[in-house]
Amino acid sequence: MAKFLTAALYKFVELSDFADLKAPLLDCCNHNNVKGTILLAAEGINGTIAGSSEGVHAVLAFLRCDARFADLVHKESFSEKAPFYRLKVRLRREIVTMGIPDINPSLMAGKYVKPDEWNKLLDDPDVVVVDVRNNFEVSMGTFAGAINPKTKSFSDLPEWALQEATLRDKPKVAMFCTGGIRCEKSTAFLRSQGFDEVYHLEGGILKYLETVPASESRWEGECFVFDERVSVVHELKLGNYQLCRACREPISEEDQASELFVLGVSCPHCHDSKTETKKQGFSERQRQIELAKGRNQTHIGARYDVKEKVDNGI
């Protein structure tokens, strides 16, 4: 049986005392040996944590003791390897960075669409479907026919949405992201701009992959996730992508077969941009990682929280 339970969670809710929540939450996670990243802001909570099943559920129970988190929803998956190597609880202006003030998803978000109803919406000729994730995520997998805004950061999305004429070509707009948080905020932004019929996939791609049978799925490719698993497929099984430790880009099986790929040192994305001195340093780090593995230890050079790469989106 898999050793580690990963729980992804978020909730938009007013937290005027969010700074006061940091210390007790850190204590609870440390006491239960739970790792990961949790963001707290005046607009709510956003995080992905991992550990033993007992430890993760203890942290979730602790959160739900606060009446504001009593109905906190989370998504679970299991893995053989630790998805995180350390714990961070951070205070932020936003739990997912859009950079637009006065957007309140708890009041303004679009209509939720259950995963088992999503295919029907995709088939609706009156719907424009938008993948609100960043371009490199979309390149790994998406729903057929979805528009790719080709953003580098989630904070680029509002400008794209204001300029994209195709959003007004049809009466309905449907948005999706990894776990729901970015599309929830995106639909709130569209509604603030006068869009009436706006929908988003409840639970995001992860809930769709978890609950919709592969035989009925419209998903194509793999889904980038914000931890050491890098990507998942249907039933949230581990995907085939790895993470280049030199440039921190996800790399496909094709990338890994390239002569430019050297484990821990370079990949086709960064081979030509790294100096020989850098490559020598990466090579030594990889050697230390392998030595640590031989001692059944985790080397600090292997630590990298993928989550922070993409605007802290889930």
Distance CA 190, CA 167 (A): 10
Helices (H) and strands (E) in the chain, counts: 10, 15
Q: Is 177 a catalytic residue?
A: yes
pLDDT tens for residues 182-212?
999 999 999 999 999 999 999 999 999 999 9
What is the third-level CATH fold of 4-95?
Alpha-Beta Plaits (3.30.70)
Pairing state between β 111-113 and 197-201: parallel
Query: Domain locations in the chain?
Result: 4-95, 105-221, 241-302
Per the CB < 8 A criterion, the answer to whether 82 and 228 are in contact is: yes
pLDDT digits (tens, 9 = 90+) for 57-86: 999 999 999 999 999 999 998 888 888 989
CATH number assigned to the domain with residue range 105-221, chosen from the 4 options 3.40.50.970, 1.10.3720.10, 3.40.250.10, 3.40.50.10800: 3.40.250.10
Using CB atoms within 10 Å of the CB of residue 114, give its burial: 0 to 12 exposed, 13 to 18 middle, 19+ buried: middle
| Dihedral sign computed on CA atoms, order 119, 143, 185, 60 | positive
Predicted pLDDT at 251: 94
* pLDDT at residue 2, rounded to an integer: 65
Q: Which of 177, 183, 223, 270 is catalytic?
A: 177
**Over residues 37-55, mean pLDDT:** 97
Do 309 and 154 contact (CB within 8 A), yes or no?
no
